[in-house]
Structure 1
Amino acid sequence: MPALVTYEVEDNIALIGLNRPEKRNAMNDALLMELRDVLNDAGDKIDAAVLFGHGQNFSAGLDLAELSKRLTPEGQAPRKRRPRHLWHSTFDLLARGNFPVVCALHGATIGGGLELASAAHIRVADETTFYGLPEGQRGIFVGGGGSVRTQRIIGYPMMADMMLTGRILTVEEGSRCGLAQYVVPAGEALAKAKALARVIASNVPQTNWMITNVLPRINDLSHDDGLFMEYLNTSMTRPPEALKRLEDFLEKRAPVLARPE
């Protein structure tokens, strides 16, 4: 049986692929557990990652066929509630792990697929991408952190509209809402994501960690507490690489920054 999540490393960048193309990369527990294991395994081995979907879509979200089986009278309910929801714990590994993640989007980015994309730090969408949150029409609610992450990106009014009415956003509409920082021609999202990941991987790892872990937490704090948190992090001991980069810049030895191809 092929892996539900593919994993390979190019230099110091992980390429992580959702691999249920015949199901539009719909996510079930088995896929999420494989994704969790891949994220844990990548750990300190890499400096950045690219997340993408095999086939014609990024992800159509929750596997509703498997959910419906669990909801039947014969379905097996868990004996006890899990201390942490599998979706939440897995997506948190991506959002607040120790390496930045660039997400390459195309085709359906729906429901849980949009929640997964919202956990990435940078999103690149090609022109075939479309977004939806159809939970309202399915009799369910978001369960992959969308009420926190996706809502913070697009705001309550837009999220309520998408969930209540089933509204589908085009790639352009999604970009205006912040769902993607980059929009590229069809078929070019993965290449653009790799180019961005290479730039990110060249940064000092400690700085990348602060951008992906400290910065979003500061967003949750009061003004004074946020400034204090910033002060604590700017006062941290800097790795030797940071001093060398500052000296290179001051001595005009640093490379000229260029836009990723």
Structure 2
Amino acid sequence: MEYLKLSNQDNIATITIERPPANALSKGLLKELSFVLDEIEANREVRVVVIHGEGRFFSAGADIKEFTAVDSSEEFSDLGKFGQDLFDRMEKFPKPIIAAIHGAALGGGLELAMACHIRLVSETAKLGLPELQLGIIPGFAGTQRLPKYVGVSMAAEMMFTSEPITGLEAVQYGLANHAYPETEVLENAYKLARKITKKSPGALGAAIELLNYAKTEEFYEGTKREAELFGEVFASKDGKEGIQAFIEKRQPQFTGE
């Protein structure tokens, strides 16, 4: 694998994102993640999964430069659906997944973290969905999952302003379970994972399945519409301008087209 590292020890599988400098989520990385989940699901020894990022970030978002190679709204919608399906699989995964977040979980990085069952964060981590700053929108079910955790009003503020919240605020708003000093996040993720490994795999799988009944049909309708609008907004003139401005490190000039 090029972007991920998988290791197994004491019934715990660790997925490490290794795509410096920002651990950006490319389509290649997401395909590797799908392959890794296949391997973990088939391994009866694994009871719990921990996912974290190598270096400065958990993941600072999707690979924006990769989007410049996509032209049509249909291609963007397909990309959104691919990410949604993968993250939906994670949320329904029969083995608990713990995200150990430090540095930043932004855009697609936060969407990945929200698909995990438990989130532990560093106190100073930055979590947010800043896509509107680029003239685009989240496309991996971020518009549907974030309100589930922080409420509609707070989700609106986070998305409309593109401003992230800290790890401490994430715990306060219900987006994360616990916050720790940055050097202690992964250690505490393993501590929690070891507690969970003592539980029955069958009971854990049943609990995860039942927790997912908290979703409603409206959630699935929302993700379907999100993928459609993800394609339309990305293919718009403002979407292209926002991406180009990001690459050129300048302020975008939006016209509403």
Global fold match (TM > 0.5): yes
Find the aligned partners of 1:178 and 1:76 in 2 and give their Cα distance: 34
Higher helix share: 2
Structural RMSD (CA):
2.2
1:151 positional shift: 1.8
Aligned to 2:84: 88
1:140 aligns with 2:133: no
1:17 positional shift: 1.0
1:68 positional shift: 2.4
SS of match in other structure, 2:196: helix
* Superposition map of 1:167-246 within 5 A: 167-218=163-214, 220=216
Contact 2:16 2:54 in 1 (8 A): yes
Higher relative contact order (CA 8 A, sep 6+): 2
For 1:145-199, what per-residue CA distance to the aligned partner results, in whole angstroms no more than 9, with x for missing partners? 1122222011111111111111221122111111211111121111111111111
1:25 positional shift: 0.6
Q: Residue 64 of structure 2 aligns to which amino acid in structure 1?
A: L
Pair member with larger Rg: 1
Find the aligned partners of 1:219 and 1:68 in 2 and give their Cα distance: 34
1:62 aligns with 2:58: no
1:21 aligns with 2:20: yes
The verdict on how the C-alpha distance between 1:81 and 1:109 changes in structure 2, with shifts beyond 3 A counting, is: closer
Find the aligned partners of 1:76 and 1:82 in 2 and give their Cα distance: 9
Aligned to 2:146: 150
For 1:21-67, what per-residue CA distance to the aligned partner results, in whole angstroms no more than 9, with x for missing partners? 22x11101000000010011110411110010011100111111111
Aligned to 1:97: 93
Q: What are structure 1's unaligned runs of at least 5 residues?
A: 222-261
1:42 aligns with 2:50: no
Q: Identity, % of aligned pairs?
A: 35
SS of match in other structure, 2:90: helix
Contact 2:7 2:14 in 1 (8 A): yes
Q: TM-score, normalised by structure 1?
A: 0.77
SS of match in other structure, 1:125: strand
1:96 positional shift: 0.5
1:83 positional shift: 10
Q: What are structure 2's unaligned runs of at least 5 residues?
A: 218-257
1:143 positional shift: 1.0
Paired residues, number: 215
Q: TM-score, normalised by structure 2?
A: 0.78
* Superposition map of 1:250-261 within 5 A: none
1:216 positional shift: 2.5
Find the aligned partners of 1:126 and 1:81 in 2 and give their Cα distance: 33
